[in-house]
Chain A
């Protein structure tokens, strides 16, 4: 099976702009989670989608949003970019059947730089 793919891999934006990142999960996986990784804050959970519904959300401002499509692909959007949004954004997918705690498989990430 192909792994989790994320596009684009690298992105440079300026303050105030908005950005959309895309994630394609492993075939058959219905759960997609997003994380932000920075040197100062480490790995922080953004949100999780399952069957097009957001089931869980981390402590991020409303500028961070996401959605999931019927084919389980997911996008996250960050509006009004700030310098502090510069980070590696990681997407992970899981089969997450009836249980909640299946392992997550991570993509390579999108490196976002805000100037």
Chain B
């Protein structure tokens, strides 16, 4: 079985400040990791993914994440946030025989203040 823990349910930050959203996972097989963003009343949009190769992954809108196998983490970072980054962010994992199944964390609400 796989599981994901997002360590912060809410993260408030001021505009242009850096931010890190934390994600830890548990899996007995090799994993593939994703970060999605959800704006109010919308579906999920993929920010970035780790499938293999370089552990530092760059995504859209200036976000990046680092896969750390020894610490089973996949933290999301952005060096300078904008008001428009206010949204809920979900970390997700899949792997092994999990056909078409993403296991999600509980989400982190990022609020960017002016």
Q: Which residues of B contact A33 (CB under 8 A)?
A: 100-102
Interface size class, chain A: 20 to 34
A85 to chain B, nearest CB (A): 19
From known contacts A100-B98, A101-B51, infer whether A45 and B43 are also in contact, taking CB-CB under 8 Å: no
B binding-site residues for A, Cβ under 8 Å: 32, 34, 36, 41-46, 49, 51, 90, 94-95, 97-107
- On whether the beta carbons of A100 and B45 are closer than 8 Å, the reply is no
B5 to chain A, nearest CB (A): 12
From known contacts A43-B90, A101-B51, infer whether A50 and B45 are also in contact, taking CB-CB under 8 Å: no
Q: Which residues of B contact A58 (CB under 8 A)?
A: 101
- On whether the beta carbons of B107 and A42 are closer than 8 Å, the reply is yes
A contact patch SS: strand
Closest to B34 in A: A103
- On whether the beta carbons of A45 and B102 are closer than 8 Å, the reply is yes
From known contacts A42-B107, A90-B43, infer whether A103 and B49 are also in contact, taking CB-CB under 8 Å: yes
A binding-site residues for B, Cβ under 8 Å: 4, 31-33, 35, 42-43, 45, 48-50, 55-56, 58, 90, 92, 94, 96, 100-101, 103-109, 111
- On whether the beta carbons of A48 and B99 are closer than 8 Å, the reply is yes
Given A42, A48, A90, which contacts B100 in the complex, CB threshold below 8 Å? A48
A108 and B45 alpha carbons, distance in the complex (Å): 10
A32 and B99 alpha carbons, distance in the complex (Å): 10
Closest to A32 in B: B100
- On whether the beta carbons of A50 and B100 are closer than 8 Å, the reply is yes
